[in-house]
Structures are given as C-alpha cells and as structure tokens.
Amino acid sequence: MLISCGDALIDFVPTRNADGREAVMPAVGGSCLNVAIGMARLGAPTGFVGGISTDMFGRMIADHATASNVELALATRSDHQTTLAFVRIVAGESHYAFYDAETATRNWTYRRGSVPFANVEALHVGSTTLVNDQGAAETKALIADARMSSTISFDPNCRPNLVKDKPAYLARMAEFASTADLIKMSDVDFSYLFGDERYHERASALLGQGTSLVVITRGSNGAIAWHAGAGQIEVAAPRIDVADTIGAGDSFQAALLFALHKQTRLARQRLKDIGADELRRALSFAANCAGLTCTRPGADPPWSHEMGWS
C-alpha cells in the first residue's frame, strides 16, 4: 500500500456566475489528500492518514476520497471543523487564503501502532500540516516508525502566508528533507526555501545527505531530476490549454510515486538502483498526468483509463 499523510480541506476555486461576475466553487482539496487521490485513481492501493471532519465539508471530503478508491480506515474523524482555502489565480499561479484554526487537520494526532508499516511501500508527507508545531511533531513521529520499512516521500509545498517564523520553518523543512528518500518541490517552493541557489547545487547536497531522488517541477518548462546513479534527467511538459494549475504538483507527485511503484522501483534500495530510462519514463508519465490535471478546474487528477500506464 501507498500512504499519504497530511491535509484534507475544501478549496473554493474561482469561477464566474451566469452574469459573468467572479464567484467561487467548493472543491475537495488539500495537497496530501490530492496525492492520495491521484495514486488511487491511477490504480495503486492507497490510504490516507490525517484528520477529516464529520461536518458537511468533511463528508464531502470522505465521499470524494472513497469514490476515488482511497482507503480511509487510517484517517481520524472528528467534530472539529474542516479547513477552508480560498484560491485566486495570479499570473498563472494559485494563491491561497486559509481558514485553519482548530480544524480536524490541525487537531490530528498520530495513533502509534495504528499503521501497518510492514505493508506500506511508501509514505508521502508535506504541505500545510508541517507548518504548525503539532502537525510537524505528529508527522515526525509517524516518519520515525515508517522509516524502518517504508520509503519516505516529501514535498514541502510551501504556503508562505501561513509561515510566521521563516527561519524556524526553513530549519523544519531541512529536517524533514533529511529523512526523505524522494524529495519533490516546485520552482516556486525552491525559491522560497533556497533563494538564488542553483538547482544542481542544492540537489547535490540533498543527494549527499542520503536522499535518492530530487525533483524540481517548473510548470510549462517541465521537470528536472537528480539521482546519484541515473544522473540528471529533464523531461518536457505537455502542451495544453490551461484551465488552472490547482493540484498540478500533487498530481505530478502521485503519478511519480505510482510509476515507480509499477516499475517495482519504489522500495528504498530499488529506488537507489533505478536506471536512467526507467526514471525518465516515470518522470514523463508524471508530467503528462500533471498536464491533464491543468486542463480542468480544481484538483482533479486523472484516472487510469485516461493515462493508460502499460
């Protein structure tokens, strides 16, 4: 099984009403839930770990995840309210306003011994859950138990408007990166975390500390990956008509993990030994899945019949 741990929320995505005025439409989202949905829709056995409310929005989240074949037995249901995020698209980038005080996601706690890690091939973590102290601490405890048998995937998916103490946040992201076998981040995240540092320099440092694969996505400019054995690999993004970019990075992450799983290259040692051709195929598949996601509004990753892995 593949597991994603973290945020589950409702995005209010921009649209227009019949009179042409700006409006918003609720859509299930949350980076880590999106990753779980993306993996499950492509056909991987997938579970979600995190807090989901029992309120109206929480029921929307649970129904959506279940309809996408995500196993929710490991999620924690509570009567805390659902996190809400309002989205605006500025210069092609999604900008968010979060309402996340005392929510089901913020109040999630890791139940030690609740996850059968011997049956978990990979654990993915990241995004807004790691901004607050409790979410970060609970996720660290989860990773500590998972590392013995499961590959750790990490996407910081930074939300600067939630960060109150940037130096502390940067130190926290570095700590999570030090535990990860696979790190993926967008070029925007990279700039926030590392400023003007060159991609290959930071990738080399991450590989040197034990990470097996580092990937940076660059929107319409495609993605670049670095691997100790396979070297540097670059793949193009498909040419598409963009509806919005919400969930594109999550779709890429989900598809990459799925492709590595299908190639039996997701287990820690198998990932270390992956060849350049296999890695290029996985990255290209991920880029195409992200591209398809961008052609429709909201975080709506593709299903297996739309992508046809073979």
CB-side neighbour CA atoms (13 Å) of 23: 9
CA dihedral (67, 69, 75, 78) in degrees, to 10, reads: 10
Tokens at residue 293, please? 């996601």
The predicted pLDDT at position 182 comes to 98
7 near 50, Cβ under 8 Å? yes
Buried b (16+ CB within 10 A) or exposed e, 34-44: bbbbbbbbbbb
* Alpha carbon separation from 272 to 47, 141, 227, 307 (Å, rounded): 24, 24, 8, 26
Contacts (Cβ under 8 Å, ≥6 apart) of 286: 223, 251, 252, 253, 255, 256, 259
173 near 156, Cβ under 8 Å? yes
8-state DSSP, 87: E
For helices 248-262 and 31-42, angle between their N-to-C axes, nearest 10 degrees? 40
The predicted pLDDT at position 305 comes to 93
81 near 55, Cβ under 8 Å? yes
Distance CA 255, CA 300 (A): 13
Distance CA 306, CA 229 (A): 32
β 151-155/182-186 pair status:
parallel
Give the angle 13-19-21 at the CA atoms, nearest 5°. Answer: 40
Distance CA 28, CA 33 (A): 9
Give the angle 163-167-172 at the CA atoms, nearest 5°. Answer: 75
The predicted pLDDT at position 96 comes to 79
Tokens at residue 74, please? 């490991």
8-state DSSP, 115: S
pLDDT by residue for the chain (310 residues), tens only, comes to: 999 999 999 989 888 887 878 888 899 999 999 999 999 999 999 999 999 999 999 999 999 999 999 999 999 999 999 999 887 777 766 777 889 889 999 999 998 989 999 999 999 999 999 999 999 999 999 999 999 999 999 999 998 988 999 999 999 999 999 999 999 999 999 999 999 999 999 999 999 999 999 999 999 999 999 999 999 999 999 999 888 788 899 999 999 999 999 999 999 999 999 999 999 999 999 999 999 999 988 789 999 999 987 6
pTM for the predicted model, two decimal places: 0.94
